[in-house]
Amino acid sequence: MKKIILLVILSFLFTACKEDTTMISEPPEKMEKAAEFSIIIHGGAGTILRENLSPENEALYKTTLEKAIKVGHRILKHGGSSLDAVEKTINVLEDSPIFNAGKGAVFTHEGTNEHDASIMDGSNLNAGASAGTKTVKNPINLARAVMEHSPHVMLSGTGAETFAKEQGLELVDPNYFYTEKRMKSLERVKASEKNKVASFYDEDIQNSKYGTVGCAALDKFGNLAAGTSTGGMTNKRWGRIGDAPIIGAGTYANNKTCAISSTGWGEYFIRGMVAYDISALMEYRELSLREAAKEVIQTKLKNLGGTGGIIGIDKKGNMVMEFNTAGMYRATMDETGALYVGIFKD
């Protein structure tokens, strides 16, 4: 009898603790319906081919994406803000060594790690960004602090680190960001260096750079937010800053249109003002999110010579994952708890 009671209690606890999640194999891009809340993330776009990713690594990427998106989903489900969902989801990705952000950031030419991040609140067009920091553990938290506790939009380098310290954000020894995998990438790229400028655009750099992270979310109050965090590109130098901390290029959010986070070859995303361009096409030409994203990533960015992708959500909760590379680490979750995780083009 005792055993039966124990079994009943255990099965009750198991059901109660189980996540309200359904795994779906098709991306939910074809739903043109209003959602109460939804969340979408990326972990970088690039030459990500099935044959180059071991089953163990594929599983690791997928479980980490799932773990991250569930953090944001839980916040939204319980009535939290899209800004909180974006920040906390990105924290999980920044703390993982497998993505090019936070802990897993790529190395600069000098063998340091320099982080860029930004966040935007679609309800009031407030935004915050930080560039080139070396000791801030979670750069997205700094971006948010810049937005909420400073009169500025973007802070850089040592000034940004002083501000982070004043804000009580966690600072770490730069060695915290050392990972063997990223150091090997730098060594490989340097070994194949033909001349200083051309090397930055080498195929090898393109192949070893992906892993930037980003998130966009719609909360129950109809507020959109987006954020992006990255280590930039392997072998970058001269204090190079990419698109990730540039509002309008790497990140954009506007309750009237959409929330976007970009990943890819930053110089082209800056020239194309990719994230804002998608919002502008929606606002001024009344394109849908999917149409606008397709136009910008598959036509405009491609014609410029740029590679990469974006994730986005519109004000109705429709989601899009558009990229012109072989793959993009990505995941979505809507109000029903339907989870989609994808890596390759299919």
* Interaction site with ligand ASP (CB under 6 A): 44, 100, 209-210, 212, 230, 232-233, 242-244, 263-264, 266
C-beta separation of 126 from 152 below 8 A: no
Nearest-approach distance from CB 119 to ligand ASP, in angstroms: 15
Contacts for 253 with CB less than 8 Å, ≥ 6 apart? 120, 121, 122, 125, 216, 224, 225, 226, 259, 260
Nearest CB to ligand ASP, comparing residues 115 and 315: 115
Question: Nearest approach, Cβ of 324 to ligand ASP (angstroms)?
Answer: 13
The nearest distance, CB 275 to ligand ASP, in angstroms, is 11
Instruction: Output the six-digit token pair for 345.
Output: 């083009």
Residue closer to ligand ASP by CB (options 44, 139) is: 44
Cα gap 70→52, rounded to integer Å: 27
- Nearer of residues 44 and 317 to ligand ASP, judged by Cβ: 44
> How many Cβ atoms sit within 10 Å of the Cβ of residue 256?
12
**How many Å apart are CA 83 and CA 225, to the nearest integer?**
5
**Given the residues 212, 228, 251, 332, the one annotated as active site:** 212
Write down the least CB distance from residue 259 to ligand ASP, Å: 17
- Beta carbon of residue 35, minimum distance to ligand ASP (angstroms, whole number): 27
Using CB atoms within 10 Å of the CB of residue 308, give its burial: 0 to 12 exposed, 13 to 18 middle, 19+ buried: buried
Q: Which is nearer to ligand ASP, 157 or 222 (CB)?
A: 157
The number of CA neighbours under 13 Å toward the Cβ of 28 is 28
Cα(321)–Cα(258) distance, integer angstroms: 13
228 flagged as catalytic: no
Torsion region of 24: left, alpha or beta (phi above 0 gives left; psi -120 to 50 gives alpha): beta
* DSSP letter, residue 106: P
Q: 76 vs 106, which CB is nearer to ligand ASP?
A: 106
Q: What is the CA radius of gyration of the chain?
A: 20
Positions marked catalytic: 212
